[in-house]
Amino acid sequence: MSGSYPVNHDEHAYLASQLHDLYSDIVDKASNTCFHKPQATAEIQASCDNLLAYLALRRHDIFDLQSALAEHGLSSLGRLEPSVLASIERVMQHLGAPIPATTLYKTTNAEARTMLEKRSIQLLGRPREQRSPRIMVTLDTAAIASPGFIEELLRSGMDMARINCAHDNPETWYKIIDAIRTTEAQLERSGQGVGRRCHIVMDLGGPKIRTGALLAESRPLKLSVPPITAEMPHPQLFGYLDSNAAETEKINLPDSTAKFIIALPGQKRLEQLPLGSTLFFEDSRNRKRTFHVLEHTGPGRVKVSLSRNAHIEEGIMLCAENGLRFRIGPVAAQPVRIEVQAGDRLLLYRDPQRLGHPAREGRPAGIACTLPAALTHVEIGDRLFIDDGKISAHVTGKNDTYLELRILSPDSAPARIKAEKGINIPDSLLDLPALTEQDKEALPFIAEHADAVGLSFVQRPQDLLDLHHALIDLGRPEFGIIAKIENPEALHGLAQLLITGLQFPCFGVMIARGDLAVEVGFENLAIIQEQILCLCEAAHVPVIWATQVLETMAKTGLPARAEITDAASAHRADAVMLNKGAHIIDAIKTLSALLCSEERNHMKKRQIFRQFTEQHGIFE
């Protein structure tokens, strides 16, 4: 369907002929694939048939035809995703072209809107009056440590809460969910309710490939105070002085703002420190620092604040204003520092129990892979990325013990490799089920307390079926399922995933742009996420736009200019996900304003139908 538009023919007759041939080919291909079959309901039939018609259309390059239609004041077919056959037929009727017979369901735009709205409400909850896209926020223990924080989230515009099951445990998850439900009830009783129930989405960890644990070493503990911001001009770091603690270390306790414990073993006079008093000390770098006494929290424990960064080591003396002196006890061992940059060698061990180590004389640094089965199909020359692409490498050798890597970037300054950071191997097949044993253990809690579950690293329809069958076994066949698209296998198999998901009572897709960008290449992300949106629109399936939305703003309070336009583009999705950050409230308010503005003033621009990501197994 490509080529220059022939001006020496009757123009309308030529366009009619081109559309007739295009329509006939779409109908022929969509009707004769094995995926065209009777479905359980008319709605499922309509969505499957429309998706197949769209896939058949996208096998054509119709740029010249679209341009010619637009030049003649006709629809360029650039907004036909929800209603493929009906949209083409309207133009054919205008041109007087005959319409071939077909058994495919011809979805109208009104039917498509109704189906998508119904499915979105089932999966994501009712939208707010001011905007259709819901705002989802990732929460962790910090959400329950600060009184009133959940209320601020709800009143600022949070519609959905996401909990990542790769972290924490059921006890912590329950506290987060309970805090949301309790706050909602309090707002309702006071007449300040937001008019909708916050939906809870819990992401399964899936077969995520991560860096393993590192060797530990003794060194001073760095206590870092949060940065100064407009909202927090005098930031402080909170922690405890504890005469019962054995070691000085960082902590992360639910329901607590404390981030460290200073061990003062056997020193029993902490109760003699007056509230508001100051302890003076010199840190391991000989810099004068102070702790301020805030609260006596229990026998032998005092809560303190620190206003400047400090490096703590054993033996440092704390001197109180009333003459008391305390000696800091042992500092817990900390992970070694492993740093690499372009040109370095790195060993990736297959044994997940092997501890990572820095480079030694004559031997490169090494780290373990937590999922050794993921390395089975890796070949020499394959690319490998660590920590969301911050470190890139390629495989130069392999044996039964490790893969040998050559670091390609960064090339300006070394990058640090830490434990539990993601590893991506885009050139290798991850031939593992998406639903892991750990996921199965978390599923009963999720089915009882949440509204939907996100399936990470889904690749094939069987992954979705495995999860759905597990939910049926738990008595929740109607439970919401979200397929997270984050690797090339899921991208190329998206059509089959959509057809499978349409069979479920409640289903949606998340564009997980973090891993996806690393896997497909950052330069390809914009077109890839657009194509995912188009496929889901053709299937009338709700979409969540996720990862790094207004990330700079959430962390620093000031948005980057590029991320404002990125966030505005998310208005085509049915939900937009924000990650946690010190300024998440501001990010929610900004995103809500952007989405409201875009919804009032923007309609999707015309699509140009040229190259499209191949969908495996549909027309083969």
Q: Which residue has the higher pLDDT, 181 or 619?
A: 181
CB 135 within 8 A of CB 567: no
Claim to verify: residue 282 and residue 327 sit in the same structural domain: yes
Nearest to 326 by CA among 300, 288, 296: 300
CA distance 155 to 369: 42
| Residue 412 covered by a domain | yes
pLDDT per position as a tens digit, 428-479? 888 889 999 999 999 999 999 999 999 999 999 999 999 999 999 999 999 9
Q: Which residues contact 531 (CB under 8 A, 6 or more apart)?
A: 612, 613
pTM of the model: 0.86
Claim to verify: residue 326 and residue 361 sit in the same structural domain: no
CA distance 19 to 68: 11
Provide the pLDDT confidence category of residue 276 given band limits of 50, 70 and 90.
very high
Claim to verify: residue 303 and residue 392 sit in the same structural domain: no
Q: How much is the pLDDT for 137? A: 95
| Residue 469 covered by a domain | yes
Claim to verify: residue 346 and residue 316 sit in the same structural domain: no
| Residue 178 covered by a domain | no
Claim to verify: residue 566 and residue 465 sit in the same structural domain: yes
DSSP assignment string, 442-510: HHHHHHHH-SEEEETT--SHHHHHHHHHHHHHTT-TT-EEEEEE-SHHHHHTHHHHHHHHTTSSSEEEE
The residue from 269, 301, 332 where one domain ends is: 332
- Judged against a pLDDT cut of 50, whether residue 3 lies above it is answered with no
- The pLDDT of 128-133, averaged and rounded, is 86
Q: Kindly tell me the burial class for residue 555, based on how many C-beta atoms sit within 10 Å of its own C-beta (0-12, 13-18, 19 or more).
A: middle
- Judged against a pLDDT cut of 80, whether residue 8 lies above it is answered with no
Q: How much is the pLDDT for 431? A: 83
Mean pLDDT of the chain: 91
Q: Which domain holds residue 477?
A: 125-168+195-208+451-595
Claim to verify: residue 320 and residue 369 sit in the same structural domain: no
| Residue 445 covered by a domain | no
Claim to verify: residue 415 and residue 537 sit in the same structural domain: no
Nearest to 58 by CA among 604, 616, 540, 611: 611
- Judged against a pLDDT cut of 50, whether residue 379 lies above it is answered with yes
| Residue 239 covered by a domain | yes
CA distance 85 to 597: 31
- Judged against a pLDDT cut of 90, whether residue 534 lies above it is answered with yes
Element (H, E) at 99: none
- Judged against a pLDDT cut of 60, whether residue 601 lies above it is answered with no
Q: How much is the pLDDT for 606? A: 52
Claim to verify: residue 278 and residue 154 sit in the same structural domain: no
Q: Which residue has the higher pLDDT, 539 or 252?
A: 539
- The pLDDT of 239-261, averaged and rounded, is 88
| Residue 201 covered by a domain | yes
Q: How much is the pLDDT for 561? A: 81
Least confident span in 358-367, 387-396, 595-604: 595-604
The residue from 117, 151, 186 where one domain ends is: 117
- The pLDDT of 22-31, averaged and rounded, is 96
Claim to verify: residue 409 and residue 503 sit in the same structural domain: no
Amino acid at 350: R
- Judged against a pLDDT cut of 90, whether residue 144 lies above it is answered with no
Percent of the chain with pLDDT over 90: 74
- The pLDDT of 88-114, averaged and rounded, is 95
- Judged against a pLDDT cut of 60, whether residue 255 lies above it is answered with no
Provide the pLDDT confidence category of residue 141 given band limits of 50, 70 and 90.
confident
Whole-Å CA distances, 375 to 351, 420, 429, 503, 600:
11, 17, 9, 34, 49
Q: How much is the pLDDT for 271? A: 93
The residue from 388, 405, 424 where one domain ends is: 424
How many structural domains are present in the chain? 4
Q: How much is the pLDDT for 490? A: 94
| Residue 497 covered by a domain | yes
Q: How much is the pLDDT for 613? A: 84
Claim to verify: residue 145 and residue 97 sit in the same structural domain: no
Claim to verify: residue 371 and residue 348 sit in the same structural domain: yes
- Which CATH number is 259's domain given? 2.40.33
Nearest to 474 by CA among 497, 449, 456: 449
Provide the pLDDT confidence category of residue 139 given band limits of 50, 70 and 90.
very high
Residue 578, phi then psi, degrees to nearest 5: -110, 140
Q: How much is the pLDDT for 604? A: 46
- Which CATH number is 545's domain given? 3.20.20.60
Q: How much is the pLDDT for 22? A: 96
Claim to verify: residue 298 and residue 275 sit in the same structural domain: yes
CB 572 within 8 A of CB 533: yes
| Residue 189 covered by a domain | no
Q: How much is the pLDDT for 548? A: 82
CA distance 305 to 334: 22
pLDDT per position as a tens digit, 384-431? 999 989 999 999 999 999 999 999 999 989 999 999 999 999 998 888
